[in-house]
């Protein structure tokens, strides 16, 4: 497919503008004037509509096919949530910050306030900031809060502890805030090795960052003990709640010892994602960390019964985003929660876990399952059996592309060789899952019978097998195929 610039024909136009009645270059400073015409593509409206419509048809999405990408929760996001977000479009974000402005948007502030309360309730935290714009941004915000907490107490802290199964953003976020990372290996039972953790803990540890269920899809049975040990060293417990799909209404991180939590609204709570945004990674904290939360904060004024905005607080880590964060994403999350209600959210988690275990049971005879216990919202297989025939996880992924499926996450978590991480989510029907299971079994059989056939896959796509190294280094060339 040609780039839009390659379709450009000199002089072709999509719109006819009337002759300008504004004096040319009226009063603009000379250095701001363009000396050459901008090199924009010149096309008719229809050329352009066809270009972008054809491009969009190459997109893979949950709205077109099954997308079992582990650690990403590619659930269906109901269209009614977009309608709800649009209702707020006329409200200018500055409104709340003008003198007397908070009075004018009590509805929007109330929505944000209630969303924070609902998230606090689900996670067992005392207050939530909605500012962070993504999960990783939430992690960094959380780590800034941890650092502010220790600074205020005069604690000298240097390290953040993470298990080796952690999402890469965890150590990265801690390092961005200036901490050194201590990585604890995973024990054969599939969780951070408790003995090695005990040995590593010391008074200089600022926080322990954990994902629970972890990236193997397993819930750590020693979580309370780990939290008690961390707290005995005045280290805080950080919960990576990017994927809350397994635990809603079942376990509250705050009840098992966590002090800071981030949640990805764009994974669990109704916002489509995968194309780069907009996301939202609210952070919840226990009481001891409230003084350090980012400004602005929404406060309920007992006397007037109104919501007010606090913009100033000497202990606050400051702003981490404009206004209150990605507002539209919050409207969607709020609507999602109100629509489902308490019972509905519990059902989401139960169904997500059931679906992942269904995948596990149906496929374990065909793919190696390094950790075989009951899983939570996702299950991690290994293509090690297939590797004996020379077929890698990436080859299985390409096979699935040819069959119309988005591949599961491969090669993550890093601790599983040839990892294939499947997260079906609660929104898929048994029929869809059975069809996918059938194709996975077909892949396993073909790996036995004809391993060489995988080398050319995918054959149904505009772009065939990529040279992965070249694709990473020279994106333009590879995208053109
Ligand atoms: C997705 C994810 C993140 C990062 O979230 P982003 O919104 O992509 O920054 C962090 N941790 C885990 C476990 C995740 O799955």
Please identify, by atom number, the ligand 1 atom nearest to the C-alpha of residue 281. Answer: 7
Answer for the pair 236, 259: CB distance below 8 angstroms, yes or no. Answer: yes
240 CA closest ligand 1 atom index:
11
Taking the C-alpha atoms of residue 116 and residue 456, their distance in angstroms, rounded to an integer, is: 50
Query: How much distance in Å is there from the Cα of 204 to the middle of ligand 1?
Result: 27
Has this prediction a pTM greater than 0.85? Answer: yes
Where do the domains of the chain lie? 79-337
Kindly report the protein residue whose alpha carbon is nearest to atom 14 of ligand 1. Answer: 242
Q: Quote the Cα angle for 340-63-166, to 5°.
A: 70
Tokens 């007037």 identify what position? 304
Cα(127)–Cα(104) distance, integer angstroms: 24
Take residue 384 and report the two structure tokens written for it. 């090690």
Q: Are 313 and 295 in contact (CB under 8 A)?
A: yes
Evaluate the CA torsion angle 93, 99, 105, 110 in order and state its sign: positive
Q: How far is the CA of 242 from the centre of ligand 1 (A)?
A: 5
Distance 136 CA to ligand 1 centre (A): 6
Distance of CA 421 to the CA centre of its chain: 16
pLDDT, mean of each 10-residue run, the chain (481 residues): 89 89 78 88 94 90 94 95 94 93 96 98 98 97 98 98 96 98 96 97 98 96 97 98 97 98 96 84 98 96 94 94 95 98 98 98 98 97 98 98 97 96 98 98 98 96 85 62 32
* The predicted structure's pLDDT at residue 466: 84
Quick one: pLDDT at residue 274?
78
Cα 281 to averaged position of ligand 1 atoms, centre (Å): 9
Atom 6 of ligand 1, residue of closest alpha carbon:
135
Atom number of ligand 1 nearest to Cα 266:
7
Q: For domain 79-337, which architecture applies?
A: 3-Layer(aba) Sandwich (3.40)
Q: Report the C-alpha gap between 102 and 113 in whole angstroms.
A: 13
In the prediction, which pLDDT does 349 show? 98
Ligand 1: list residues with CB < 6 Å.
Answer: 71, 134-136, 167, 169, 211, 240, 242-243, 264, 279, 281
């Amino acid at each position: 497919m040609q780039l839009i610039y390659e379709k450009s024909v000199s002089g072709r136009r999509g719109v006819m503008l009337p002759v300008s009645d504004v004096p040319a270059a009226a009063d603009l400073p000379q250095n701001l004037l363009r000396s050459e015409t901008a090199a924009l593509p010149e096309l008719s409206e229809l050329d352009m509509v066809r270009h972008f419509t054809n491009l969009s048809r190459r997109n893979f999405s949950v709205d077109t096919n099954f997308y079992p990408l582990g650690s990403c929760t590619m659930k269906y996001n109901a269209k009614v949530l977009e309608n709800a977000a649009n209702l707020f479009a006329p409200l200018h974000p500055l409104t709340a910050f003008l003198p007397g402005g908070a009075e004018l948007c009590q509805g929007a502030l109330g929505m944000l306030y209630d969303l924070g309360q609902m998230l606090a309730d689900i996670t067992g935290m005392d207050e939530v900031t909605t500012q962070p714009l993504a999960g990783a941004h939430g992690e960094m915000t959380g780590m800034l809060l941890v650092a502010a907490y220790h600074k205020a107490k005069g604690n000298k802290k240097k390290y953040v502890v993470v298990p080796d199964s952690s999402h890469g953003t965890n150590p990265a976020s801690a390092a961005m805030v200036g901490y050194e990372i201590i990585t604890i290996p995973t024990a054969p039972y599939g969780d951070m090795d408790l003995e090695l953790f005990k040995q590593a803990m010391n008074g200089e540890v600022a926080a322990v960052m954990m994902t629970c269920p972890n990236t193997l899809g397993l819930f750590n049975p020693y979580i309370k003990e780990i939290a008690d040990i961390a707290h005995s060293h005045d280290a805080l417990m950080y919960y990576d709640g990017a994927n809350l799909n397994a635990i809603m209404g079942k376990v509250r991180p705050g009840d098992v010892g966590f002090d800071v939590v981030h949640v990805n609204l764009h994974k669990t709570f109704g916002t489509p994602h995968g194309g780069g945004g907009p996301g939202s990674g609210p952070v919840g904290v226990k009481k001891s960390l409230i003084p350090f939360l980012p400004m602005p904060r929404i406060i309920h004024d007992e006397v007037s019964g109104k919501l007010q905005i606090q913009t100033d607080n000497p202990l606050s880590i400051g702003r981490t985003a404009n206004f209150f964060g990605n507002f539209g994403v919050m409207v969607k999350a709020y609507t999602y929660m109100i629509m489902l209600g308490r019972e509905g959210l519990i059902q989401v988690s139960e169904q997500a876990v059931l679906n992942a275990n269904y995948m596990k049971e149906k496929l374990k005879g065909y793919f190696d399952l390094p950790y075989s216990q009951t899983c939570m919202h996702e299950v991690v297989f290994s293509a090690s059996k297939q590797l004996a025939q020379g077929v890698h996880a990436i080859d299985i992924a390409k096979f699935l592309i040819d069959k119309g499926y988005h591949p599961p996450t491969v090669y993550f978590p890093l601790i599983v060789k040839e990892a294939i991480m499947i997260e079906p989510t609660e929104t898929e029907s048994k029929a869809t899952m059975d069809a996918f299971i059938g194709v996975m079994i077909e892949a396993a059989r073909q790996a036995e019978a004809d391993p060489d056939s995988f080398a050319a896959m995918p054959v149904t796509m505009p772009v065939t097998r990529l040279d992965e190294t070249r694709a990473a280094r020279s994106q333009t060339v590879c995208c053109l195929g």
